[in-house]
Amino acid sequence: MLFYYHNSTSKYKSEKCNEPIMTKVAPSMLSADFSRLGDEVKRVESAGADWVHLDVMDGMFVPNITIGPIVIESIRNLTKMPFDVHLMIQEPKRYLNAFAKAGSDMLTIHVEAKGDVKDALEEIRNLGIKPGITLNPGTPVEKIEPYLDLVDLVLVMTVEAGFGGQSFQEVGLSKISSIREYADAQNPRLEISVDGGINRNTGKMCVEAGATVLAAGSSLFRLSDMEKEIALWKSYGPDTEK
């Protein structure tokens, strides 16, 4: 078992890493206006976002279909922000090279997807991309344990993958805490992202549990000016001394 008791006074530091991990905000483009996607990318950048979160759905692993490598490539030159690409697809290994070439900086695959997860994560690394692992609310956190030393990012889903606008499921909080325990002991630079029903209240709960990245769609894109909201969320983080 790789999980350790959580130190509630932790600032996400260790002897190996004296710098706190900054809390990041990653607007989910699933909630953007796709008729003006390029402008939406520029809007989140000017609002102070850290990453661009891109949800890829294949209509098989999840019922919906969203975007593919061509769309990602078309907006890649509009910003230097990292592209955090969440692959909700049945057989991710088949498409890793295409998404890497399109300009992804991070590729996150589901532990529930088909194929050899370890092999897929290693291939992502070999492509020069940061690998990530994610799990749905109903999947026990122990399922990702064998892969934690292979990834730079863990994405905790607090809604079922495949649809935007769902309500936050608090079962994700204990998963975040468990992963935080591992990170504090073994890999302080591991990013712990959370996606699903994130707003100013649930986001704060997630950061308090140990998350370092907040991915959110509707709660940000519904705002005419999301800059103040992003700044508020960043103030929850361990880098902010109260």
Q: Is 55 in the active site?
A: yes
Entry pTM: 0.90
Whether the CB-CB separation of 26 and 63 falls below 8 Å is answered with no
Per-residue pLDDT of the chain (242 residues; tens, 9 = 90+): 444 434 444 555 544 445 555 689 999 999 999 999 999 999 999 999 999 999 999 999 999 999 999 999 999 999 999 999 999 999 999 999 999 999 999 999 999 999 999 999 999 999 999 999 999 999 999 999 999 999 999 999 999 887 666 689 899 999 999 999 999 999 989 999 999 999 999 999 999 999 999 999 999 999 999 999 999 999 997 655 44
Of the candidates 50, 58, 152, 195, the residue annotated as catalytic is: 195
Q: Cα 147 from chain centroid? A: 16
Residue 97 CB neighbours (<10 A): 13
Tokens of 197: 């029903």
Domains in the chain: ranges and CATH: 24-234 (3.20.20.70)
CB 194 within 8 A of CB 213: yes
Residue of 55, 58, 84, 184 with catalytic role? 55
The pLDDT assigned to 164 comes to: 61
- Please confirm, yes or no, whether 105 is among the known catalytic residues: no
pLDDT at 179: 97
